[in-house]
Amino acid sequence: MRLVLASASPRRRELLAGAGLTFEVRPADVDESIAPTTEPAAAALEIAARKWRATAAGLAPGEFGLVADTVVGLELAGGWQLFAKPDGPDHAAEMLRALSDTRHLVATGVAVGGSGVAMVSGVARTWVRMRAIEPAEIADYVASGEWRGKAGGYAIQESADRFVVDLEGDGMDNVVGLPVRLALSLLGEVGYTPARAALERHRSVGGGQGAR
């Protein structure tokens, strides 16, 4: 029984290892484009499902796979605006200006399954309240490079936590990129037994929650 994490994200690796699981990393390479007005939870689940299909094709007998996708969304009068990963410094600055002084949603879709085991999925949602960010702070943050590879252009687990006033809903681990309790629960559901003990340990130390 082997677990495959289909993600190149060091943050997801750290969170999953911190839950006590051992795994092999095999990143899934898929098209992550989606209509920018898609509701965040639906977008995260759709892209996670794409990653799962790519991952499932390479699983050997006895292997289980875990994929995740995190998106940031801002609800506007006309609907949702999605923020994926910035494609450069100017794009990162643009995202931070748009998210400054807002209450926005971070959604992570998680999909798991195994060789010959059907996929199950779920999504976690965390509302992030961000204070107004001064132009000089945005410039300094973009210069730091922390925005690279981060949905919404910021990393709450690094120095961007100083911009965040409050979190509502699911835990900070969801904002970082992997709602651990949700991931463990789904893995247990599809028969990856090491996740069940890990979930009990996670509950006992009050880890972040994920919602189905």
Structural domains in the chain plus CATH codes: 2-204 (3.90.950.10)
> Please, which residues bridge with residue 111 across strands?
67, 121
Question: What whole-number distance in Å separates Cα of residue 42 and Cα of residue 40?
Answer: 5
pTM comes to: 0.90
pLDDT (tens, 9 = 90+) of the chain, 212 residues, equals 899 999 989 999 999 999 999 999 999 889 989 999 999 999 999 999 999 999 999 999 999 999 999 999 999 988 999 998 899 999 999 999 999 999 999 999 999 999 999 999 999 999 999 999 999 999 999 999 999 989 999 999 889 999 999 999 998 999 999 999 999 999 999 999 999 888 888 776 655 444 33
- Annotated catalytic, 31? no
The active-site residue, picked from 29, 31, 69, 170, is 69
Question: Which runs of consecutive H residues, i.e. helices, occur in 152-210?
Answer: 172-176, 180-189, 194-204
